[in-house]
Amino acid sequence: MSDTYSIYFAGDLFNHKDLIGNLLLSEAIEKESSGRYLCVVPQHLEQSTNRSIDIRNNDLSEVVKADLILLNFDGTELDSGTVVEFLFAKALDIPAVILRSDFRAAGDQERGDPWNLMCSGYPRTRTVSLNAMSWYQDAWNKGGGTSAILERFYGKLSKMINAEFDLVLKEASLFDNEQMLSNVYEWALRFPGNGFTDLFSKEELRNLLISKKNKGSVLI
C-alpha cells in the first residue's frame, strides 16, 4: 500500500448529529481510500484533564502532526475553534480541504464562498461544496433502508473528498528550503504559549518533518 496520510478532521462536535456525522464520514474516507487517508477526529481524543488550555493544546498538537486537514465549514457562522485550527494549519502550509454541505446562503462575499471572506483565498486549499438536502433526497429515494442510504450518501461524499486530497497534495508547497520549514514549525510550537512547546522534543519535531517531506505534504 502507498503512504498513509493523517487527516485532522476539524469541525463541530457538540451534539449527536455532529458526533455521528463526523464518525460516519471519517470511516467512509478511510474505507473509500483503502486506508490511504486516516482521519483523526477530535471527539475521539482522550482528554485526561478538564483544563481548557490542555484541550486546546492537545487539539493543536494533532494539527501540527497532520499531513492534511479536513474542515467542516457548515453553518450560517463558522465554528470559531475550526477557524483557529484552519489558520494554524495554513500557517504551517498544511494542505487543506474545506467541506461545505450546508445549502443555506451565508457569509459576506457577494459572488464568493458562503462564509466570511477572511477564511478564503489561502494556498493549498481546495473546497468540496454540495447541497446536503439534495444529496440526501437522492439517496433516500433509491430506497433500501437506513444503512443503504448512509452508504450511498457517505460513499459518494468520501470519494469527492479523497479526490481533492489527491489533488491538493500535488500543489506546490510554500516552503522552498529546509531552514524555512524548520523555522516556521519551531515558531508555531512557541507562539501558542501555555506549555505547547513542551509537547514536542527537538527529535520528535525533526522526525515529524522528515515524515511529511517523505510523504509529499511539504514539498521542497
Query: How far is 132 from 138, CA to CA, in rounded Å?
Result: 10
Given a cut of 60, is residue 103 above it in pLDDT? yes
Instruction: For 174-199, write each residue's pLDDT tens digit.
Output: 998 999 999 999 999 999 999 999 99
**Domain coordinates in residue numbering, the chain:** 5-174
Q: What is the dihedral of CA 53, 56, 60, 61, to 10 degrees?
A: 60
Query: How far is 194 from 57, CA to CA, in rounded Å?
Result: 8
Task: Find where cell 518533518 sits.
Answer: 209
Given a cut of 70, is residue 1 above it in pLDDT? no
Residue type, 160: M
What would the DSSP string read from start to end of 12-59? Answer: --SSHHHHHHHHHHHHHHHHHTTTSEEEE-GGGS------HHHHHHHH
Q: What is the pTM of this model?
A: 0.93
Query: How far is 214 from 28, CA to CA, in rounded Å?
Result: 26
What would the DSSP string read from start to end of 65-108? Answer: H-SEEEEE--SSS--HHHHHHHHHHHHTT--EEEEE---S--SS
Q: Which three cell numbers stand for residue 137?
A: 433526497
Query: How far is 134 from 104, CA to CA, in rounded Å?
Result: 12
For residue 209, the model assigns a pLDDT of 95
Q: Which CATH number does the domain 5-174 belong to among 3.90.105.20, 3.30.365.10, 3.40.50.450, 3.40.50.1860?
A: 3.40.50.450
Residue 188 contacts residue 91 (beta carbons within 8 Å)? yes
Q: Which three cell numbers stand for residue 188?
A: 508555531
Instruction: For 125-162, write each residue's pLDDT tens digit.
Output: 999 999 999 999 999 999 899 999 999 999 999 999 99
For residue 46, the model assigns a pLDDT of 64
